Amino acid sequence: TFQTNILTELKNWELNLIQHHKLQMRQEKEKHATQVKQLQNELENLKELLHTYEISISRKDEVITNLTKALEKQKERVVLMRKFTLWRIQHVKAKQEEYAMRMADRHFQTALMKKVWAAWRSVTEERWKDKVARACQLRAEDVCIQLTNDYEAKIAELTATLEQTKAEILRLHSERDQYEDTMKKAFMRGVCALNLEAMTMFQSK
């Protein structure tokens, strides 16, 4: 009858609605599962990227540590070189002062010998004959000439030694300057290499 048809129609409509609802639920579940899977994939990618960044930072820290150690060693070497140069300069100055003292003492002894000789000659001129006085004078002059020649030879030798020492000091100063320049260049090269590595890594990512 008409009522039975209506009930049948309503039942069919209800079944269709339930099936449509189930279909939507299944589609929503599949969509949700797809989104969860995508999020999981993104999370894994982010974990890998984070791990890569951690490795990169660790390498950078290692490079910085190595550069810092190298710089400390260079500083220690420069300090040692500076101390050694100062010691050499003080040593040369001490030798110069010692040589000046010896020369002053020898000059004093020579002047004293001349005064003694003059006094002795004045006495002998009164007591001895002119021949003996002249012979003694010639002998004394030979001795003075010999002493003068010896002093001049010694002065020339010490002067040559002094010039060699000055040249060595200049060479040490030059080596120190070159060493400091080399250290600065090495440090700058290390910093440039670090920056280049950082740029390369960020660009690759």
Band (pLDDT 50/70/90 cuts) for residue 10 is confident
State the Cα angle at 189 between 188 and 193, rounded to 5°. 115
Q: How far apart are CA 121 and CA 123, in angstroms?
A: 5
Residue with tokens 């008409």: 2
Give the mean pLDDT of 14-39. 90
pLDDT value of position 205:
52
pTM beyond 0.75, yes or no: no
Band (pLDDT 50/70/90 cuts) for residue 124 is low
Residues 81, 179 contacting (CB under 8 angstroms): yes
Q: How far apart are CA 99 and CA 158, in angstroms?
A: 8
Give the mean pLDDT of 79-105. 88
Q: How far apart are CA 73 and CA 69, in angstroms?
A: 6
Give the mean pLDDT of 168-186. 86
Q: How far apart are CA 196 and CA 52, in angstroms?
A: 17
The Cβ-side half-sphere exposure at 36, using a 13 Å CA radius, reads 6
Using a pLDDT cut of 70, give the percent of the chain over it.
92
Intra-chain end-to-end CA distance of the chain, in Å: 74
Residue with tokens 């010999």: 146
Six-digit token pair at 6? 């209506």
Band (pLDDT 50/70/90 cuts) for residue 193 is confident
State the Cα angle at 170 between 91 and 168, rounded to 5°. 55
Range in 56-65, 106-115, 130-139 with the lowest mean pLDDT: 130-139
158-167 residue pLDDT tens? 998 898 988 8
Give the mean pLDDT of 94-119. 87
pLDDT value of position 2:
67
Work out the mean pLDDT of the chain and round it to a whole number: 85
